[in-house]
Structure 1
Amino acid sequence: MDTTSGTLDEALHRLHGSGPEFKGYLSNHGPMAVEALVRHGQAHTVHRWLDAYGARLEDVPGARTPIGDADWQEALGDPLRVTDWTRYFSRWIARRPWREVLAQWWPRLLPGIAGAATHPVIRVGHAVRSLVTEGEDAPRLSELAHALGYWAARHTLLPVTVAPSGGAAPADALAALPRIAEQNVTPLRGYAQLSGTPGWPEAAGSLRVPENPEAVRENLSALVRAATLNYGAYGHGDGVMLVHAATAPNAVLRTLPVLPQELWGPSLAAAWAATAAITSLYAADAPLPPPDASSVTAEEVFELAAANGDAHVIKFADTALDVAASAEDGDDRALAAALNAVRLMGSGD
C-alpha cells in the first residue's frame, strides 16, 4: 500500500470528526473502506468516495463521564459512552505501545465480537493492518483508539454459548449450520433465535480448535476462505449482512500476529461463533451459481468493487482478494464471490 501521498492519513483525519454510527445504528464504514481502497491501488478514488459517503455521517457524540481503570466494566457495552471509550483508549495508546494495549484488551473485548454486527472488530482489523504494514503515526494510532472504543461501546454477548470442541474442518462446520426461521431480522433479533433453532448448538460446537498456534492460524485462514466461498453461493440471502461472516474472521486473522499466542485459540473460537451466527441468520437456504470470474484478474475485480462504491462491496472484495492470493492456480471462486457482492449490492450504507 502506497501512503506516500498521505491519502490514508488525510482520510482518517477527516473521518475522526464523525461518529462511529449514524441514523441511530448504522456503522460508519469509512475508515475500513478507505484503508482497503488505498491498499489496493485506488487511492485516487478515496477523497471523491469520502465526499459522497461522508455526507451521511453524523458528528462525534458528546462525552459523558470519563472511564477509569477501576470502573471500565460498568461502561462496557454502553453505546452512549462511545466517546468516553475513545478518549480512554486514546490516553492509553498515548502512553503505552499500541500492541501492549491491544494484547491487554483483546481478551476483554473478544466475547463481545458480535456487537454491531461485528463491525467494531472489522474496524480493528483494518487499523492493525495499517499499523503493521505502514508503521505508526498519529492518524493510524488514533484510528485504533476509535476502533477499540467502538468495540467496547458495542460489546455484545451472543445469547447462546458457543464452545467449539468437535473435529470438523471450517468448511464442513459451516455447511452443517441450519438457518433460523425468520431471517429478515436485525442481528439482535436473529441472535435471539439461535438457541431455539433445531441443530444449531450442535453444529456450532462441531468446529475443531487445535492446540497448536500455527494450526489455529491455518484453521482461521480456512474459516475465512470457507465463509468467502459460501458468500459466492449463498449471498443472495442477504447480500449486505452475509459479508460479515467472512470479513469478521479475516479481521481476527489479520490481528493474530500481534497477539500473544495463548490468545489465538480463543480468537478462532470467537471468530467462528460470529461467523456461525451471521451465516445462520443471513445465508440463503439454497445455493445459486456466482458470476463467472474466469476472465478477470484480482485487480480488475477490486476496480469493479471500487466503482460500485458500496462500502460492504469494497470490504468484502478486500477479503476475497486475500483468499484468492492463497488459492491454488485456476481457483477463481473467491473472485467469483467478490463479483457476486458487486452484483448483489448497489451503492449504499
Structure 2
Amino acid sequence: MTEQQRPTPITATGIDPDHVEHLEATDPADLPKGHPVDAMAGHDKLSPRQQLTQLLDYFEDSYPEIFRSLTTDEGAGVTGDELTELKDATERMWARVPDLITHCSLLVLGAGLDQSMPGVAFLKTGPDASPVTVGGLTGTLLRPSEPTGAVAVSLHGGPGWFGDAESHDQLWLPLFAALAEKSGVTVVDLLYPLPGYGEGTVEERTQLMEDTVAAAFAEVVGGAAELVGEGAAKPATADRVGLITFGSGFTAAKKVLDSRAEKFLLAMTPRIPADGFDPDLHGVPTLVSLASEDSRGTAAETVREFFLPRTDDLEYREYLSEHLIGVPDVWRRRVADDAEWLARQ
C-alpha cells in the first residue's frame, strides 16, 4: 500500500458511510391479511455514520463518566495514590463497555437486530482457555477449535497505567479470544508489568515491561508446538509466531519489534509514542486496524505516516467507529476481517 489518501471508513456491509437507504412504502391492500406494516416504511434509513452518531450521543448522555473515560486519557500526568484510585475506577468502567454498547444499540438502533459484540458472537464454539505462565508472566492460553498452527502473543491496551484487571477480563480477553477462534490462531494473552507503577523511574519500569514481554515472547517461540497441541492444520513452528496488540500493547512489544522476532503483526488501534520508537517492519506482514473517528488514541493520519515507510507488506484499514464505541455489526466486521488476515499467516 503506497497511496497517501486515507481510505473510506469500512462499514458493516461495505456501503458508503453516508449512504442513506429509502425504505419504500407498501400499500397495506397489497399485503396478506393481518400482515404488519413496517412502521419505518416510506422513511429514510439512518446512514452508517448517522447510526454511529446516534449511538455515541445516547452513550454520552446515559453514561457520561464512562464516555469521558473512553474518549480522553484521564491518566495522563497523574501519579501516586490518585493514579491508583483512577485505575480502579477505570478498570470497572471499561469492563462494562462491551455490554453497554450492546445495550445502547438495542435501545437506539433496533431491538430486532443482532447487536452482539464479537466477544459474544464468535465464542460459541471456543476457544479453550487455560492459565499459562511464560517468561515469568501470567496469562491465558487460547486454543481455537480448529487451529491453523500459527501462534500469536496478544498484548492489551491501557496506556501503561491500566488494562490488567476487570477491563482485561471483560474487554481485552474476549476480544483476543474472538480473534483466536475466528482465525484458528492459537493466542497467548499476557499480563505484563505496567510502567505506571512500581519501584524505580518511569524509564526503568518501561525497560522492565519491554524486557519481560520480550522474554515471554521468546519462550512462546521456543514452545510453539506444545502450546498449539495436536490437530493443527499445519505444523506449529518458530517461524509462525507473531503479535496481536491493541493500543499501548504495541509499545509494550518494542524490544520484540526491535529484534525483528515477530513473523507477523496485527496492530489494532496502535498507540504511537512521540519519539524513540522506530521499528523496522520490512518483511513482516502487518495489518493495521483502527477506528476512523478515534478521539482518544493516536490519530489515524499519524498512524498511517508511521507505518508506511517502515514496512513493505502493509494492509491498512479504518472502521467507522470511535476509539472503542462502534455499532456492533461494524465491530463484528472488523474482528472478522482481522481474523481472516490472521488465518493466512
TM-score, normalisation: structure 1: 0.31
- Whose strand fraction is larger, Structure 1's or Structure 2's? 2
- Structure with higher RCO (Cα < 8 A, 6+ apart): 2
- Higher CA-based Rg: 2
* Higher helix residue share: 1
What TM-score, normalized by structure 2, do the two folds share?
0.31
